[in-house]
Amino acid sequence: MDTAVALVSEPDGAMRDLMKRALSEAGFATLDSSSFVELDLKLRSRLLRTAPRALLVLADVMSSRCQPSLAALAALRLEDELDEAQVVLTREFGSASSDAPRDLGGCTVAAVLEKPFDLTLFQAIAYRCRTASALDARQGAAL
């Protein structure tokens, strides 16, 4: 499989659809989840495990309980010698932006966005994640 895959985990249906559309336009096949149970199942999917590029767009509230599944995904991708999954973490308006992202199980944080965010910026970040390695993303986030 040579398609980049993105998983959007967002409880708000309209926001989830907008992000999926932007990701499709950035060249990703998309999966989505609206609950913790769905997120856990999708994180264990073969598509995410075997895709050359995997992007996880996680609402902060959704990511709070998925660390074990993220760690399992990261371990499987490492075993198959694939790049780490990259994460775009989305936070609600007014969240403390200075708070460091929680442990995301060995996945690389590519960006932290506060809602409402510019979908063009979101799409550009996704495109960068699709075309650059996880190492490049870590170095870009440090700038």
* Segment 27-64, tens digit of pLDDT: 999 999 999 999 999 999 999 999 999 999 999 888 87
pLDDT of residue 68: 87
Query: What pLDDT, on the 0 to 100 scale, is given for residue 14?
Result: 95
Residues written for the chain: 143
**Which residue, chain included where needed, has tokens 């926001």?**
15
Enumerate domains of the chain plus CATH numbers: 4-142 (3.40.50.2300)
The DSSP code sequence of 5-41 is EEEEE-S-HHHHHHHHHHHHHTTEEEEEESSHHHHHH
Angle at the Cα of 69 (from 89 to 104), degrees rounded to 5?
35
pLDDT of residue 142: 46
Cα distances from 51 to residues 6, 116, 141, in angstroms, run 9, 29, 22
Q: Report the pLDDT value the prediction gives residue 61, as an integer from 0 to 100.
A: 83
Q: Which segments of the chain have a pLDDT < 70?
A: 1-2, 95-103, 133-143
